[in-house]
A and B are shown apart, each in its own frame.
Chain A
């Protein structure tokens, strides 16, 4: 693979394709990710967005925040719609009915749209090998409908449909579905995880995903101030501490080769991450231990160091 396309923040294009004026919450992690990914894509792109916060806040008719062709069809099928777009571009170019140039096809979908309702459509599109980039903006719950749990909600998180109670003290009692691993198992050319506090890592992965021949899957941890219960100016800090504790593991799987892209010298305990967010406020030490153990096991599997000794 060629050298990184963006070596410093100064390499990131100034052009904006996801413009200001949209109605996302202050501190929304999703919009930061989308803005950067579109900078990597440039103007020759067709964007498909699943139903969710991003769609709702960026296109209140007759306004739009999108300076590129953009289509929202429904919740569960952005990958299937993208399949059709990509197939149409291919045929129309082959028949010389439209100019033959590279047009990227990009899907943006939330974790509910990816892990739950749209899992089948995405699996099908990846298996068929369509040339497109699928971006999962993972804010770990159905935020658009008011913070309901998805299968991407982590153990111990409060949501409106996983409230902590006497019977279920942790709130969400199940573990987060491991989407990047599922999609890497499809054998597609490129799978990566990213988060908004590492913008160069994110935008370079987007670029790689756009440039590979075939499907690419990008999983982005996008902190949500409203749903995670933290002040809106803390998005980047929450994202960064997520990486430093090993809760978010940033890696890529390129042609089947796994590589950690952000290595942590000294890993912090998960309490550092949990205490930044109101959604974990109810957790007892016992439950925090459960989470720490779970994160430790995952980190060991992915080659991250153990938690630094407490001083």
Chain B
């Protein structure tokens, strides 16, 4: 029996609690809405002596990630979190964290990018950095934020991986919501995650090494290819860690989650907090006899190519709902990825692009029903041409 307790917690604080239970050594963070609650709570833990860590109040997000890079290269277990403009300012450092194989864990409270200044949620921040080489996981609620953050340390620090992990969750719609959480206690976390990071490679005078040297055209390709291989290979470890977590605590996770898809003709695909609203819409449509289901994409990088192909093999159409734009007529970024990997699949479903929920705008049940109806129309139609539809645009 699992002796965990059920508590009510703000999702941001679920991330802080997870980082505390992971016994992080160094936190470097800079305030930005809607991420601040995470690092405020961590600062309290450190100030109260509940967490033995160095807390660096850096002067920018660029320095936050730079300090995380320095600390992680020295062998520490490191956590930070950011959002929106902060993630954009970190952009340069994200690639270096991944390229230098540093197991940093970061919470991303997904926020829109300027202009205009908008502190509310969408996925354009992480999507603009999606090729940075990080493992990227999208969480829907407090439980997932908590579980995925703890798991992230184990995944990142695995010697077969050694890559940073971003745990993404929607600004405000997830971060600021108080939800039930089955928390783990310290003893439980310690059973799952080694109390301290074991860094085989680190900066130490005992074994001097040179990191971040100059690479000529003669070697850069090989270095980049190794990063790509490492990210691709991390998927097996992610699945292994999720399985182990499930065996210990009873909560199992998969790269994507199918809802009422058994006999569905069409599916809606989304990641993040709005999956819940999507499921409500599916329930309503099912009551009306409409054969529709929902797929929640949890693991975004490495992209679960095989799983996506399998889950879509039974439907005739899929409506991909993106909270970001891939500029220049390509629709949403996730839509582009899905359409890409389905190209060489025989009898592939039609793929539709919907862009919704930008800058914190709600995606309602009604919106999802409209999207679902469009998907069902496409399921019974011929063809499946590229078309991008924006939801709730007043023009």
Q: Which residues of A contact B (CB under 8 A)?
A: 43-46, 48, 55-56, 59-62, 64, 66-74, 76-77, 80-92, 94-95, 97-98, 103, 120-121, 123-125, 127-128
CB contacts between A and B, total, < 8 Å: 165
Q: Is the CB of B196 within 8 A of A95?
A: yes
B70-97 interface code vs A (CB 8 A; 1 in, 0 out): 1111111010000000000000110010
Q: Which residues of B contact A55 (CB under 8 A)?
A: 212-214
Q: Is B216 engaged at the interface, CB distance under 8 Å to the other chain?
A: yes
Q: Interface residue count for B (Cβ, 8 Å)? A: 44
CB B106 to nearest CB in A, in angstroms, measures 14
Q: Is the CB of A69 within 8 A of B67?
A: no
Beyond A59-B210, A83-B70, whether A88 also contacts B54 by CB under 8 A is: yes
Q: Is B343 engaged at the interface, CB distance under 8 Å to the other chain?
A: no
Q: Is the CB of B67 within 8 A of A84?
A: yes
CB A119 to nearest CB in B, in angstroms, measures 11
Q: Which residues of B contact A73 (CB under 8 A)?
A: 66, 69-70, 93, 96, 100, 212
Closest to B209 in A: A69
Q: Which residues of B contact A123 (CB under 8 A)?
A: 59
Complex CA–CA separation, A189 to B100 (angstroms) = 33
Q: Is B215 engaged at the interface, CB distance under 8 Å to the other chain?
A: yes
CB B86 to nearest CB in A, in angstroms, measures 14
Which of B12-20, B176-184, B200-208, B358-366 sits within the interface?
Answer: B200-208
CB B24 to nearest CB in A, in angstroms, measures 9
Q: Is the CB of B210 within 8 A of A66?
A: yes
Complex CA–CA separation, A74 to B89 (angstroms) = 14
Q: Is B144 engaged at the interface, CB distance under 8 Å to the other chain?
A: no
Complex CA–CA separation, A61 to B224 (angstroms) = 14
Q: Which residues of A contact B174 (CB under 8 A)?
A: none
Q: Which residues of B contact A88 (CB under 8 A)?
A: 25-26, 54, 70-72, 74-76, 78
Q: Is the CB of A61 within 8 A of B213?
A: yes
Which residues 35-73 of B have a CB within 8 angstroms of A?
52-54, 56-60, 62-63, 66-73
Q: Is the CB of A83 within 8 A of B63?
A: yes
Q: Is the CB of B196 within 8 A of A68?
A: no
Q: Is the CB of A83 within 8 A of B213?
A: no
Q: Is the CB of A72 within 8 A of B212?
A: yes
Q: Is B2 engaged at the interface, CB distance under 8 Å to the other chain?
A: no
Complex CA–CA separation, A46 to B75 (angstroms) = 13
Complex CA–CA separation, A259 to B63 (angstroms) = 33
Q: Is the CB of A124 within 8 A of B211?
A: no
